[in-house]
C-alpha cells in the first residue's frame, strides 16, 4: 500500500485514490479547486520521491524542476513525502480588507488592497487563506487598472473560508492571499470574434472581469453573457449588467432562472440550455464557461459539438468546499 508523509504524519492511499482525495478523507486542511488539474490551486511539492508525469500536466518547466505537482491527479506507485506551497515558500502575500458588502443575501463582495507589483489578468483566481491557513480559490472580478482585488464569495454552509469571510472578516482586517493563477481570461488579437459567456452562481465573477477587460481592450465582436441560478435570489448584479448592456452596442445580457414562473426581464430555464438554443452553430466563437462543474463540464462538450474549437473554449469549473 502506497504511503505519503505530510507535515509529520503518514497516510495510506486506498486503491485508485489520488493524493488529494487521501488527504481530504483524512480530514487534512488543504486548498483545492476543480479537482481535475485545471485550476492548479492544490499544487504542492514532492520533497522525497518522484512525481508522476500526469501529476505535472500543465505545469511550466520551472515548476517541474522544483518537483511541484498536482495532488488531485497524482496516483503514485511509490511512497512520497510532500509539502504544501505557501508562506514558507514566499508565495503568499498579506494585504488589507478595503470593503466588505453583500451583493445578494448569499454573495459577499470582498475588496482587498492590491499589493504592489501584484500582476494578474481579470478572470484569474487567487487563494484566500483563513487564520488557520486553510485556503480556497476565488476568481478576480476587478480590473488591472483598479487599486483593489474584488472577489465574490458565496457563503457555503460550514465553509471554512467562505463562512469566516462572511461572518468574521471586517474592513481593515489583514488577510493572506496567494499569487494569481489560472488561464481563463480575455486574450486580444481577434477583436471581431463573437464571445459566448455562460456562468452559474459566483461564476459571474470571472466573467464580469473578462467582460470588462474585453470592452476595455475595445473588443468589437458581439458578447453574449448568460448568468443562471436555480432561484431568483441566486442572481446578483442584475442591474449592473443591464446597465452595461444598455450602453454597450455589442454586449447582450441574459439572466436565467431554472423555474417556470419568473419575474419580468428574467429568462426561464437553465442558462446553458438557453445559450445553446439561441444559436446552433458556434463555429468561430470563443466560449467562456464558469461556475459549478455540473454545468461547466457537459457544456464544454456541447459547445465543442456545436462547432467551437477546443482552443477557443475556456473553462473554470467550481467545486464547493465545505468543512
pLDDT of 320: 64
Decide which of 58, 85, 112 is a domain's last residue: 85
114, 143 in Cβ contact below 8 A? no
Is residue 188, in this structure, part of any structural domain at all? no
Is residue 189, in this structure, part of any structural domain at all? no
Beta bridge partners of 174: 96
Cβ partners under 8 Å of residue 201, min gap 6: 154, 229, 234, 291, 292, 318
Q: Do 9 and 78 fall into the same domain?
A: yes
Q: Do 217 and 313 fall into the same domain?
A: yes
Is residue 185, in this structure, part of any structural domain at all? no
Mean pLDDT score across all residues of the chain: 92
Q: Do 272 and 210 fall into the same domain?
A: yes
Any idea what the CATH number is for the domain that residue 208 is in? 3.40.50.80
Q: Do 136 and 202 fall into the same domain?
A: no
Decide which of 70, 85, 100 is a domain's last residue: 85
Cell numbers for 197: 459567456
pLDDT tens digits, one per residue of 102-150: 999 999 999 999 998 888 999 999 999 999 989 999 999 999 999 999 9
Residue 140 φ then ψ, to 5°: -95, 120
Q: Do 52 and 102 fall into the same domain?
A: no
Please determine, for residue 186, whether its predicted confidence score (pLDDT) is greater than 80.
yes
Is residue 156, in this structure, part of any structural domain at all? yes
Average pLDDT over residues 201-230: 97
pLDDT-above-70 percentage for the chain:
97
118: containing domain: 88-178
Q: Do 217 and 301 fall into the same domain?
A: yes
Confidence band, pLDDT 50/70/90 cuts, at residue 85 = confident
Average pLDDT over residues 7-35: 92
Report the distance separating Cα 30 and Cα 299, nearest Å.
Answer: 29
- Tell me the three-class secondary structure of the chain, residue by residue: CCEEEECCEEEECCCCCCHHHHHHHCCCCCCCCCCCCCCCCCCEEEEECCCCCHHHCCCCHHHHHCCEECHHHCCCCCCEEEEECCHHHCCEEEEEEEEEEECCCCEEEEEEECCCCCCCCCCCEEEEECCCCCEEEEECCCCCCCCEEEEEEECCCCCCCHHHHHHCCCCCCEEEEECCECCCCCCCCCCCCCEEEEEEHHHHHHHHHHHHHHHHCCCCCCEEEEEEECCHHHCCCHHHHHHHHHHCCCEEEEEEECCCCCCCCCEECCHHHHHHHHCCCCCCCEEEEEEEHHHHHHHHHHHHHCCCCHHHEEEEEECCCCC
Looking at per-residue confidence, does 162 or 318 come out higher? Answer: 162
pLDDT of 162: 95
pLDDT of 1: 84
Is residue 244, in this structure, part of any structural domain at all? yes
Q: Which of 186, 184, 223 has its CA nearest to residue 203?
A: 184
Any idea what the CATH number is for the domain that residue 14 is in? 3.10.20.30
Q: Do 129 and 199 fall into the same domain?
A: no
pLDDT-above-90 percentage for the chain:
77
Alpha carbon dihedral 275, 278, 284, 287, in 10-degree steps, equals -10
Looking at per-residue confidence, does 322 or 36 come out higher? Answer: 36
Q: Do 310 and 214 fall into the same domain?
A: yes
Is residue 208, in this structure, part of any structural domain at all? yes
Please determine, for residue 86, whether its predicted confidence score (pLDDT) is greater than 70.
no
Q: How many domains does the chain have?
A: 3
pLDDT tens digits, one per residue of 48-67: 999 999 999 988 776 787 78
Please determine, for residue 322, whether its predicted confidence score (pLDDT) is greater than 80.
no
Q: Do 208 and 287 fall into the same domain?
A: yes
Q: Do 206 and 172 fall into the same domain?
A: no
Average pLDDT over residues 28-37: 86
Decide which of 116, 147, 178 is a domain's last residue: 178
Is residue 186, in this structure, part of any structural domain at all? no
Q: Do 279 and 246 fall into the same domain?
A: yes
pLDDT tens digits, one per residue of 156-183: 888 999 999 999 999 999 999 998 888 8
Any idea what the CATH number is for the domain that residue 130 is in? 2.40.30.10
pLDDT tens digits, one per residue of 223-260: 999 999 999 989 999 999 999 999 999 999 999 999 88
pLDDT of 91: 64
Is residue 57, in this structure, part of any structural domain at all? yes
Q: Do 226 and 313 fall into the same domain?
A: yes
Amino acid at each position: 500500500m502506497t504511503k505519503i508523509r505530510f507535515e509529520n504524519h503518514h497516510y495510506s492511499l486506498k486503491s485508485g485514490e489520488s493524493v488529494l482525495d487521501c488527504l481530504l478523507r483524512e480530514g487534512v486542511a488543504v486548498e483545492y479547486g476543480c479537482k481535475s488539474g485545471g485550476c492548479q490551486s492544490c499544487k504542492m511539492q514532492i520533497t522525497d520521491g518522484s512525481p508522476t508525469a500526469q501529476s505535472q500536466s500543465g505545469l511550466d518547466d520551472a515548476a517541474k524542476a522544483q518537483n511541484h505537482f498536482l495532488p488531485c491527479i497524482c496516483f503514485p506507485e511509490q511512497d512520497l513525502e510532500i509539502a504544501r506551497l505557501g508562506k514558507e515558500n514566499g508565495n503568499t502575500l498579506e494585504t488589507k480588507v478595503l470593503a466588505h458588502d453583500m451583493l445578494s443575501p448569499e454573495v459577499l463582495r470582498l475588496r482587498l488592497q492590491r499589493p504592489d507589483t501584484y500582476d494578474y489578468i481579470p478572470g484569474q483566481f487567487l487563494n484566500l487563506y483563513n487564520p488557520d491557513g486553510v485556503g480556497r480559490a476565488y476568481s478576480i472580478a476587478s480590473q488591472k487598472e483598479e487599486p483593489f482585488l474584488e472577489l465574490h464569495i458565496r457563503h457555503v454552509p460550514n465553509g471554512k473560508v467562505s463562512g469566516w469571510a462572511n461572518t468574521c472578516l471586517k474592513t481593515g482586517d489583514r488577510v493572506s492571499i496567494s499569487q494569481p493563477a489560472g488561464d481563463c481570461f480575455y486574450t486580444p488579437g481577434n477583436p471581431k470574434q463573437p464571445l459566448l459567456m455562460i456562468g452559474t452562481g459566483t461564476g459571474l465573477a470571472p466573467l464580469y472581469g473578462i467582460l470588462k477587460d474585453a470592452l476595455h481592450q475595445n473588443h468589437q465582436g458581439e458578447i453574449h453573457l448568460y448568468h443562471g441560478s436555480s432561484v431568483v435570489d441566486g442572481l446578483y448584479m442584475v442591474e449592473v449588467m443591464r446597465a452595461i448592456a444598455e450602453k454597450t452596442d455589442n454586449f447582450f445580457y441574459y439572466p436565467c432562472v431554472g423555474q417556470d414562473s419568473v419575474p419580468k426581464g428574467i429568462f426561464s430555464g437553465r442558462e446553458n440550455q438557453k445559450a445553446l438554443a439561441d444559436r446552433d452553430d458556434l463555429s468561430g466563437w470563443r466560449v467562456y464557461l464558469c461556475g459549478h462543474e455540473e454545468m461547466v463540464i457537459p457544456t464544454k462538450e456541447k459547445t465543442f459539438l456545436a462547432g467551437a474549437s477546443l482552443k477557443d473554449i475556456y473553462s473554470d469549473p467550481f467545486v464547493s468546499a465545505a468543512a
